[in-house]
């Protein structure tokens, strides 16, 4: 099997803001926020008796949504084994978001069942392959089956683009302590990153629950970036700037990437796999990483232009 490091188009997913689909004020406000992804939630943030109302509100919101800003719009549905999952998918067909976020994914079949449902319902007809899929990894079984779940992103029509860590449910299920710095969770978080990278998927870090703790949020964003995450799930608009900064590209990083790309583009280095830049050995793989980083800079610039 061909397992290239990245096989999906590069996307900006620094900040993934969860918005309750039942909250009309939050829906209206979301269109003007500077997050890369708006995740419209039909699951945890909506009471059972409000699910139908939330679906109707979401359909109405998508009917007037501006889709040319470069921002992704995704919908988190309820589990298919409950009374609302299929009803949520029917609403997805009316909305046609960029992706469907699946909660509590525990095995590959959770992904493939929804992928098949969307294909059979004609979701592919709207645009290339229709909505993609994101998998919430928030159960012990999901952690045990990480590699098999991530591998569905390599199956024909599998649709899987992204893994998202859900620590609130995972802590509840496992009893792992919620301690600043996440010392006992770090090994599990790194497993999710490794599984995502093995199959060319993006990976999003879990929410930081105390949105009033700006220093704690910034520290956790830095930690997530250092672990290799692409972005962070957010629960409040006040968290957007910290996530965008932590998962963005600094001027120094961009300058270094430009230098690496320029060095390998120089005629005298055309046949070299390794070059020296400012006394440091740099391999061709670093040029590939630098090119991807500069592509991210372009996406950030475009997002600012269209915001």
pLDDT tens digits, one per residue of 218-229: 999 999 999 999
Is residue 68 over pLDDT 80? no
What are 117's two structure tokens?
């449902």
Q: How many CB atoms lie within 10 A of CB 296?
A: 21
pLDDT for the residue 155: 79
Instruction: Return left, alpha or beta for 266; rule: phi > 0 is left, psi -120 to 50 is alpha, else beta.
Output: beta
* pLDDT 10s digits, 37-64: 999 999 999 999 999 999 999 999 999 9
**Least confident segment among 8-12, 83-87, 191-195, 260-264:** 8-12
Q: In 3-state terms, the chain is what percent helix, strand and coil (to 5)?
A: 50, 15, 35
User: CA-CA distance, 167 to 182, in Å (whole number)?
Assistant: 10
Q: Is the pTM of this model over 0.75?
A: yes
User: For the stretch 181-209, what's the b/e string if a residue is b when 16 or more beta carbons lie within 10 angstroms of its beta carbon?
Assistant: ebeebeebbebbbebbbbbbbbbbbbbbe
Beta bridge partners of 137: 165
* pLDDT 10s digits, 186-216: 999 999 999 999 999 999 999 999 989 999 9
* pLDDT 10s digits, 100-149: 999 999 999 999 999 999 999 988 754 555 799 999 999 999 999 999 99
User: For the stretch 42-53, what's the b/e string if a residue is b when 16 or more beta carbons lie within 10 angstroms of its beta carbon?
Assistant: bbebbeeeebee
- Residue 108: its H or E element: helix 108-120
pLDDT for the residue 106: 97
What are 93's two structure tokens?
């067909």
Of 202, 247, 204, the closest CA to residue 222 belongs to 247
Of 103, 91, 164, 166, the closest CA to residue 131 belongs to 91
């Amino acid at each position: 099997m061909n397992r290239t490091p990245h096989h999906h188009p590069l996307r900006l997913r620094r900040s993934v803001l969860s918005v309750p689909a039942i909250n009309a004020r939050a829906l209206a406000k979301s269109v003007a926020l500077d997050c890369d992804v708006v995740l419209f939630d039909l699951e945890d943030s909506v009471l059972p008796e409000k699910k139908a109302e939330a679906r109707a509100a979401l359909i109405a919101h998508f009917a007037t949504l501006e889709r040319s800003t470069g921002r992704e719009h995704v919908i988190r549905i309820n589990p298919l084994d409950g009374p609302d999952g299929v009803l949520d998918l029917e609403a997805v067909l009316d909305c046609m978001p960029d992706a469907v976020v699946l909660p509590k994914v525990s095995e590959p079949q959770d992904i493939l069942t929804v992928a098949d449902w969307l294909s059979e319902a004609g979701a592919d007809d709207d645009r290339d392959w229709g909505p993609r899929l994101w998998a919430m990894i928030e159960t012990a079984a999901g952690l045990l089956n990480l590699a098999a779940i991530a591998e569905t992103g390599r199956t024909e029509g599998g649709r899987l683009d992204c893994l998202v860590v859900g620590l609130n449910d995972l802590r509840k299920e496992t009893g792992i302590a919620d301690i600043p710095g996440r010392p006992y969770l770090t090994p599990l978080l790194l497993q999710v990153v490794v599984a995502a990278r093995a199959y060319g998927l993006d990976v999003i870090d879990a929410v930081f629950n105390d949105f009033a703790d700006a220093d704690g949020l910034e520290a956790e964003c830095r930690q997530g970036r250092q672990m290799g995450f692409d972005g962070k799930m957010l629960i409040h608009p006040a968290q957007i700037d910290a996530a965008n900064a932590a998962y963005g590209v600094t001027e120094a990083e961009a300058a270094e990437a430009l230098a690496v790309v320029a060095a390998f583009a120089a005629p005298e280095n055309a046949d070299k796999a390794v070059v020296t830049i400012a006394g440091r050995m740099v391999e061709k793989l670093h040029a590939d990483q630098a090119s991807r980083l500069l592509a991210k800079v372009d996406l950030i610039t475009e997002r600012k232009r269209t915001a």
